[in-house]
Amino acid sequence: MWWLKDVWVIDPSQKVSGPQDVLVKGGQILEISSGMTEEEVLGKAQGESLETINGKGKFVFPGLIDVHTHLREPGQEDKEDILSGSRAAVRGGFTTILAMANTHPPIDSRALVEFVLRQGERAGYAHVLPIGTVTKGMQGSELVEMADMKAGGAAAFSDDGKNIQNPEVMRLALEYAKLTGFPIISHCEDKDLAGEGLMRRGVTSGRMGLRGIPASAESVIVARDLILAEETGGKLHLAHISTAESVELIRRAKARGVDVTAEVNPHHLIFCDEEIGITDTVLKVNPPLGSRGDREALIEGLADGTIDMIATDHAPHTQAEKTRPFAEAPFGIASLETALSAVWQYLVLPGRLSFDRVVEAWSVTPAQRFGLNGGTLKPGVSADMVLFDPDFKEEINSTTLVSKARNTPFLGKTWQGFPVMVWVEGRLVQRDRTVI
Ligand code: NCD
Ligand code: ZN
C-alpha cells in the first residue's frame, strides 16, 4: 500500500486541486482525503506493507495519456521500439500511449493491431494502444476493416504522417468510423500546397533560402475536414495543430456543434520558425514550426479550450538520419521524456498555462475523447498516477535518456521540475527518473 502524505492533488475529473492524502491499495486508488492519521492508514492497510511518501511541495495527478506517439515497431526498430518507447513514456510521466500506425508495414489489419498490443503488454510499462490506419497500406484509397481492427484492440484510426488527400475517402472514413465510435485522427497537410517544403514559408524560410510550406497547407485541410465532419456527423480529431488560422476554424466549428477535438504539440507552443538553424535539423518537424503569432494563438487556444489536448508527436529518428543536410533529414522531434517538463518550464512557470489545465488536456480529456481507462484518480480505478517534484533538478543528456532517439532540442539543458514517481496499475515503474 502507498500513502502519499500532504501532496497537492490535481484531478480535474473530480474538480480537485489542493493538498490531500492519497492511498493506493491493491493496485487501485483507495481514498483521497485530508488529515489521515497513521493509525487509520495502518488499519486500512490490513497487513499489506505500507510505504509512506512525504508529498509536501509535490503534485500528484492521473498518469498522462499521449494520443500521438510514434514507436516505429514493426520495421524501424533502429529509431525506437515498443519496449524502449514505453520505457521513455513512463520516464516522462505517461501511463498510456497511443501508438501511431505509420510503421513499416503500417498497422492496417487486425493481426498487426494485435501484434502492437501484445508487444506493449510484454514490455509492461505504459499501456500501449495501437492506432490503426484509415486506408490500406496508408495509400489513401481503400478503407481498412475498421470493425475488425477495433475487435483486435485498435483505439482510433489515422493515416498520420500522410494526409488523406482524396476528400471522398475522408468523407467515407468519417461515416464508417461512426460504427466504431472512434474518431478519425487527421494529419492535415495538403500534399500539393506543402510540396517539397522544408519549413514554414515566411520571412525566415526566405532568408535561409529553404523551400517553404505555406500555413494554408494545414488550414485548407482543417477547413475541409471540419465541413466533412459536420456533414457526416462523424468524430474528428485534428493532430498537431500549428497555425492561428486552424485555431480560428476550430473555434468556429465548435460553436456550430461539430464533433471535433484538436491537439497541439509542446514544440509548437515553445518554439517558432525563427529559431531554426540551417545546420541544425533538430527543429525540422512536421507540421513545421510557425510564426510567433501562431505560437500565441496556439497557447491561447489551448488555454480557452478551443484546443482540447496536448500530445507529444514523439517522432524518434536516428542520429545518422538527423545529421544529414537540412533538405534530406527526416521531420520529427523525440519528446516523450522531456515533454511534460518542457511544458512546465516554458509555459506553467511563466504563467502562460495552469498546471491544472495541462493535466486536463494531457490526461482527462484524452481519456474521455478516446474512451480509455485512466484520466482520473477516482476511488476504485486502477492507479495510473504520477508524482511530480517541482524541485527535482536534472540535466537532459544522452546518458540518462532511455529512448533510442536523441533528436531533442533540449539536450544539455538543466531544468527543475520532473515526474519522479510513476505508477501503472498501482505498480511503481519509475522512481527518481530511473525506470524500474
Ligand atoms: C512524424 C514521423 O516521423 O512519423 N513526423 C513528424 O515530424 N511529426 C509524422 C507525423 O506525425 O506527421
Ligand atoms: Zn502527423
The domain spans of the chain are: 2-60+379-435, 62-370
Closest ligand by atom to 331 CA: 1
Residue 162 CA: nearest ligand 1 atom is: 12
Contact 103, 348 (CB under 8 A): no
SS3 399: coil
CATH superfamily for domain 2-60+379-435: Urease, subunit C, domain 1 (2.30.40.10)
pTM as predicted:
0.98
Catalytic residues: 313
State if residue 285 touches ligand 1 by the CB under 6 angstroms criterion.
yes
State if residue 331 touches ligand 1 by the CB under 6 angstroms criterion.
yes
Length of the chain, in residues = 436
**Which cell is 368 given?**
474521455
* Ion ligand 2: protein residues whose beta carbon lies under 5 Å: 160, 187
Burial class (CB in 10 A: 0-12, 13-18, 19+), 56: exposed
Domain 62-370 CATH (choose: 3.20.20.140, 3.90.1480.20, 1.10.220.150, 3.40.50.800): 3.20.20.140
**Which cell is 402 given?**
532511455
- Residue-level pLDDT at 279: 77
C-alpha to C-alpha distance for 22 and 9, rounded to whole angstroms: 8
Alpha-carbon distance values, 87 to 31, 61, 74, 105, 151 (Å): 28, 19, 17, 23, 27
b/e per residue 166-193 (b: at least 16 CB within 10 A): eeebbbbbbbbbeebebbbbbbbbbeeb
Residue 284 CA: nearest ligand 1 atom is: 7
State if residue 313 touches ligand 1 by the CB under 6 angstroms criterion.
yes
State if residue 213 touches ligand 1 by the CB under 6 angstroms criterion.
no
Question: For residue 161, how far is its CA from the centre of ligand 1 (angstroms)?
Answer: 5
Peptide bond into 105 cis (omega under 30): yes
State if residue 316 touches ligand 1 by the CB under 6 angstroms criterion.
no
Residue closest via CA to ligand 1's atom 12 equals 161
> Which residues fall within 8 angstroms of residue 276, CB to CB, at 6 or more apart?
199, 204, 208, 283, 284, 289
Split the chain (436 residues) into runs of 10 and give each run's mean pLDDT: 98 97 97 93 91 97 98 98 98 98 98 98 98 98 98 98 98 97 98 98 96 98 98 98 98 98 98 90 98 98 98 98 96 98 98 98 98 98 98 96 98 98 98 97
b/e per residue 344-371 (b: at least 16 CB within 10 A): bbbbbeeebbebbbbbbbbbbbbbbbbe
C-alpha to C-alpha distance for 416 and 434, rounded to whole angstroms: 16
- Residue-level pLDDT at 35: 86
C-alpha to C-alpha distance for 211 and 195, rounded to whole angstroms: 9
Question: For residue 111, how far is its CA from the centre of ligand 2 (angstroms)?
Answer: 23
Question: For residue 333, how far is its CA from the centre of ligand 1 (angstroms)?
Answer: 8
